[in-house]
Amino acid sequence: MSLLEGLQILVIGLGTVFLVLISLSGAVALESRIFSFLNKSKKENPAAEISTTPEKSTVVNASVGELKLIDVDERTAAMIMAIVSDESQIPLSELNFKYIKAIN
């Protein structure tokens, strides 16, 4: 193997290490955000917490994790979800919110 080929492997190898670890860093950051969001909505919306059993709240968190918020803060979103669940008499564990968007 020539030095030039070795140099190519240096670039490709180190580049791949960075690529894998940057992806990992992104995944970990995303994981942290999801958990921090779930914790925040738990703290900010005690009503939702009270109205659900601990088992249900876990599932609620899972569905909240996939939710997109457009011009809506997390507190409002949590309240909306709790209200929809209460009004429709459908447990939050069976509701799947895709996004909540503010309409002006």
Partner 1 sequence: MTYSLTDTLIRVWEMSGFANATWQQLVMILVSFVLIYLAVVKEFEPLLLLPIAFGMLLANFPMTGLLEGPLGDQPGGLLYYIYQGVELGIYPPLIFLGIGAMTDFGPLIARPSSLFLGAAAQFGIYIAFLLALAFGFAPEAAAAIGIIGGADGPTAIWLTTKLYQDLLPAIAIAAYSYMALIPMIQPPLMRLLTTQKEREVKMEQLREVSKAEKIVFPIVVATLCIFLLPSVAPLIGMLMLGNLLKESGVTDRLSNTAQNELMNIVTIFLGVSVGAKAVGENFLQLETLKVIALGLIAFAFSTVGGLLLGKLMYWLSGGKINPLIGSAGVSAVPMAARVSQVEGQKANPSNFLLMHAMGPNVAGVIGSAVAAGIFFALFG
Cβ nearer to partner 1, comparing 34 with 79: 34
Indicate whether 62 belongs to the interface with partner 1 (CB under 8 A).
no
Cβ nearer to partner 1, comparing 3 with 103: 3
C-alpha 104/C-alpha 86 separation (Å) is 25
- Give least dist CB 34 to partner 1, A: 9
E-assigned strands of the chain?
Answer: 68-70, 99-101
**Which one of the spans 30-38, 46-54, 70-78, 95-103 is the region binding partner 1 (CB under 8 A)?**
30-38
Indicate whether 43 belongs to the interface with partner 1 (CB under 8 A).
no
What burial letters (b/e) apply to 65-85, b meaning 16+ CB within 10 Å? eebebeeeebeebbbebbeeb
Interface mask (CB under 8 A) for partner 1, residues 85-104, using x and -?
A: --------------------
Q: Are 48 and 78 in contact (CB under 8 A)?
A: yes
Cβ neighbours for 69, distance < 8 A, ≥ 6 positions apart: 77, 99, 100
List of residues contacting partner 1 (CB under 8 A): 1, 3, 6-7, 9-10, 13-14, 16-29, 31-32, 35, 39
